[in-house]
Amino acid sequence: MPSSAPGPWLRLIALSAAAGCAAAVVSGALGLHSVHRALAALTLPPLCALVAAAWIAHRRLLVPAVAALVGFLAAALVTPHPAHLVLAGLALAAALVAAAGCFRGEPVPRAALRDYVTLTKPRIMTLLLLTGAAGMFVGAHGVPPLSTFAVTMVGLALACGGASALNHVLDRDIDRLMPRTGERPVAGERIAPARALEFGLALSAFSFVLLASCVNVLTAVLALVGNLFYVLVYTGWLKRSTPQNIVIGGAAGAVPPVVGWAAVTGHLALPAVFLFLIVFFWTPPHFWALALLIKRDYEAARIPMLPVVRGDRETTRQILLYSLVLVAVTLLPFAWRTAGILYLAAALLLGAVFLRLAWRLRQEATPVRARALFHFSLLYLAILFVAMAIDPLL
């Protein structure tokens, strides 16, 4: 039986990898050393994405894809010009073979655009982008350059969307077991896992290329680290293995404001760590409130979320403890003079409401109180970071 053809996203990855190899070969042959090094660095992400897609979903492309990546890396290590150029040429040839292979096979029906949008988890992405934008305003001590702001937001959206799409692929088995997630595009079989994989890899690779070429390398690396941590560490390992999954895995969701800071400053500093810590300590009480509401779903899917493993009473205790730490951490930007009076007022007022809701949930763990804390926590983080962003403007 003929194998299915890769979709348009993998074709785009393969063509980008081949074009990058060609540009690197030409720039190297012409002696454009700085341009050559930049093009080589930007070619690596699509090459790596091509190998990952071939390894997981399209094994017939694996040999040329791996050959292209190995040849490209070998060319980077071999400095004598003739050997360097020969290895780069071989990498280009292998990349072209892989790209040609992406256009062979039986076509697969296209999925609806709205399902691809759903793969990116737009509701979650909105909050992540808001914290990333706030990080840019805080780092710039005012309004960041419009071009940098726009490119960073697009690059961050690609990174977040790519990670979410790959999460759909890895979680499709447990998503089918939970009513809340059973109709997601991959779990509901409206998008083939291979297509969702290609889509997620494409967004992730092009996020790095865009941020590294148009913003700075640190921003691209941070976005990629957040992406990989969410996909490999949280989704692939922690989520199914420990009740502390959301605590450690929450680090991925705390990366966007640091990305925003790095985009306008080009470096990391203690105020960026404060932004990270706020989201990091916000995540457990936010997510555990939701977990209390859908505990039966996690039980059915055998996911060791805290309410399933330790019970409601311990979960509400942990929620209250993390809420106390969260409110204390939100005062650090003011104490360090990163934010002013407006932010302090917002942090104290919002923190007081957050603690009251957490205390009430601790007193009586009802669905009504868990729902109230969950929904307020979303508003809490959004208003807090908006206040932090506009504080320097006053």
Task: Give yes or no: residues 194 and 59 share one domain.
Answer: no
- Whether residue 21 is contained in a domain is answered as yes
Q: How far apart are CA 356 and CA 138, in angstroms?
A: 28
- Whether residue 379 is contained in a domain is answered as yes
Task: Give yes or no: residues 49 and 192 share one domain.
Answer: no
CATH number at residue 310: 1.10.357.140
The owner of tokens 């922690």 is 238
Task: Give yes or no: residues 268 and 299 share one domain.
Answer: yes
Domain finish residue from 77, 101, 125: 101
Cβ neighbors of 118 (< 8 A, separation 6 or more) are: 184, 185
Task: Give yes or no: residues 62 and 178 share one domain.
Answer: no
Tokens of 230: 């969410």
What pLDDT sits at residue 131? Answer: 98
Task: Provide the total of helices (H) and of strands (E) in the chain, helices listed first.
Answer: 19, 0
CB atoms within 10 A of CB 360: 17
What pLDDT sits at residue 2? Answer: 39
Angle made by CA atoms 330, 335, 340, in degrees to the nearest 5: 80
- Whether residue 358 is contained in a domain is answered as yes
Distance of CA 302 to the CA centre of its chain: 25
196: nearest Cα among 3, 56, 62 = 56
Q: Model's pTM, two decimal places?
A: 0.94
Q: DSSP assignment of 36-50, as one string? A: HHHHHHHHHHHHHHH
- Whether residue 106 is contained in a domain is answered as no
Task: Give yes or no: residues 12 and 131 share one domain.
Answer: no
- Whether residue 107 is contained in a domain is answered as no
312: nearest Cα among 267, 366, 266 = 366
Task: Give yes or no: residues 356 and 255 share one domain.
Answer: yes
Task: Give yes or no: residues 160 and 70 share one domain.
Answer: no
Three-class secondary structure of residue 106 per DSSP: strand
Burial (CB count within 10 angstroms: exposed 0-12, middle 13-18, buried 19+), residue 106: exposed
C-alpha distances out from residue 148 to 1, 135, 211, 259, Å: 49, 13, 10, 12
- Whether residue 309 is contained in a domain is answered as yes
What pLDDT sits at residue 1? Answer: 30
Q: How far apart are CA 102 and CA 284, in angstroms?
A: 42
Task: Give yes or no: residues 274 and 294 share one domain.
Answer: yes
Give strand pairing partners of 106: 4
Domain count, the chain: 2
Task: Give yes or no: residues 169 and 67 share one domain.
Answer: no
Cβ neighbors of 328 (< 8 A, separation 6 or more) are: none
Task: Give yes or no: residues 140 and 239 share one domain.
Answer: yes
Burial (CB count within 10 angstroms: exposed 0-12, middle 13-18, buried 19+), residue 188: middle
10, containing H or E segment: helix 8-29
Query: Which pLDDT tens digits describe the chain residue by residue (394 residues)?
Result: 335 679 999 999 999 999 999 999 898 888 788 888 899 899 999 999 999 999 999 999 999 999 999 999 999 888 777 888 889 899 999 999 999 999 987 777 788 899 999 999 999 999 999 999 999 999 999 999 999 999 999 999 999 999 999 999 999 999 999 988 989 999 999 999 999 999 999 999 999 999 999 999 999 999 999 999 999 999 999 999 999 999 998 899 999 999 999 999 999 999 999 999 999 999 999 999 999 999 999 998 899 999 999 999 999 999 999 999 999 999 999 999 999 999 999 999 999 999 999 999 999 999 999 999 999 999 999 999 999 999 988 8
Give strand pairing partners of 255: none
Task: Give yes or no: residues 136 and 40 share one domain.
Answer: no
- Whether residue 3 is contained in a domain is answered as no
Which amino acid appears at position 5 of this protein?
A: A
Task: Give yes or no: residues 140 and 202 share one domain.
Answer: yes
Q: How far apart are CA 256 and CA 263, in angstroms?
A: 10
Residue-number span of the structural domain to which 142 is assigned: 113-393
Give strand pairing partners of 4: 106
Domain finish residue from 55, 73, 101: 101
Three-class secondary structure of residue 4 per DSSP: strand
What pLDDT sits at residue 29? Answer: 81
What pLDDT sits at residue 3? Answer: 55
- Whether residue 43 is contained in a domain is answered as yes
Domain finish residue from 78, 101, 124: 101
